[in-house]
A and B are shown apart, each in its own frame.
Chain A
Amino acid sequence: MRHSITMTKRSIAGALAVGLLPAFQAAPALAQAPVLPSNPQIQVEYLQPKYNAAAGQNQFNEFTTIYAWLQARRPLEEIQKFLAPLRLPRPIKIEVDTCGAERRAYVSGAPVTVCYELIDKIKKVAAGITGNDALKQMVIVGTFTQAVLHELAYGVFDVLQVPVWGREDDAADRLAAFVLLQFSGEIAHTAMVGSAEFFLLSRKTWTGSAFADAGSPEGQRFYDFLCVAYGGDPLDFGGWTQAPQGKDPLLPAFRTEHDGCRYEYEQVRRAFNLRIMPYIDPDLLLQVKAAQWFLPGEVRK
Chain B
Amino acid sequence: MTAALPAVTPKLVIARRRTVAINVLRLAAALTIMLVVQSGSLTRALADDCVADPGPKYQPIAGLPDDSFPVCYLAPNDANKAAYTALQSRHILEVYSQFLSPLRLPHPLTLVALNCQPNFNSDSPFYSPGDRALHFCYEWYKVVLQWAPTATTPEGVTRANVITGMWAGTLLHETGHAVFDMLDVPVFGREEDAADEVAAFIAVQFNKDVARTIIKGFAYFWQMAAKAGNDPPTATNPNPAKDATQRCLRDPLCAYADVHGTASQRLYNTLCLGYGADRETFKDFVQMKWLPKARADGCEREYHQLESAFIKTILPFIDPDLRKKVQSIQWLLPTEVQ
Contact = CB atoms under 8 A, between A and B. Distances in A.
A in complex with B: yes
Interface in B218-237: 226, 231-232, 234-237
Interface string B294-322: 11001000100110110011000000000
A258 B21 contact: yes
Contacts of B58: none
A179 B305 CA distance: 22
Given A206-B234, A219-B232, A166 B194 contact: yes
Given A174-B189, A224-B190, A252-B254, A165 B234 contact: no
Interface string A65-77: 0000000000000
A94 B256 CA distance: 31
B19 interface: yes
A205 B236 contact: yes
Contacts of A168: 189, 302, 305
B22 to A, nearest CB: 8
Given A211-B264, A213-B295, A254 B188 contact: no
A209 B306 CA distance: 23
Interface residues of B, number: 57
Interface in A149-204: 157, 161-168, 170-171, 174-175, 200, 203
Interface in A235-264: 248, 251-252, 254-255, 258-260, 262-264
Interface string B166-186: 000000000000001000111
A222 interface: yes
Given A165-B309, A258-B21, A271-B186, A214 B191 contact: no
A217 interface: yes
Nearest to B237: A205
Contacts of A262: 19
Contact of A259 (B19, B194, B267, B306): B19
B250 interface: yes
A300 interface: no
Interface in B234-256: 234-237, 245, 247-248, 250-251, 253-256
B251 A1 contact: yes
A208 B180 CA distance: 31
B190 A167 contact: yes
Contact of B253 (A166, A203, A216, A258): A203
A295 interface: no
Contact of A163 (B234, B248, B258, B309): B309
B158 to A, nearest CB: 23
Contact of A214 (B21, B185, B251, B298): B298
Given A212-B268, A252-B257, A255-B258, A2 B309 contact: no
A5 to B, nearest CB: 12
Nearest to B198: A165
Nearest to A257: B21
Contacts of A208: 264
Contact of A165 (B186, B250, B294): B186
B29 to A, nearest CB: 15
A17 B294 CA distance: 37
Nearest to A253: B247
Given A165-B197, A219-B253, A174 B247 contact: no
Nearest to A262: B19
A47 to B, nearest CB: 24
A289 interface: no
B17 to A, nearest CB: 5
A167 B191 contact: no
A167 B193 contact: yes
Contact of B185 (A1, A165, A216, A227): A165
A170 B253 contact: no
A267 B194 CA distance: 13
A291 to B, nearest CB: 26
A219 B256 contact: yes
Interface string B132-164: 000000000000000000000000000000000
A27 B108 CA distance: 60
Contacts of B294: 212-213
Nearest to B235: A205
Contacts of B194: 165-166
A248 B240 CA distance: 15
3 nearest interchain CB pairs?
A166-B189, A219-B256, A271-B186
26 contacts: A1-B250, A2-B253, A157-B188, A162-B188, A163-B308, A165-B188, A165-B194, A165-B306, A166-B193, A167-B189, A170-B189, A171-B188, A205-B234, A205-B236, A206-B231, A212-B264, A217-B262, A227-B257, A248-B254, A252-B257, A254-B258, A258-B20, A258-B22, A260-B17, A267-B187, A267-B191
Given A165-B306, A219-B256, 18 more contacts: A2-B251, A2-B254, A163-B308, A164-B309, A165-B188, A165-B197, A167-B269, A171-B189, A174-B189, A212-B294, A214-B295, A248-B250, A252-B248, A252-B254, A254-B258, A262-B19, A268-B188, A274-B186
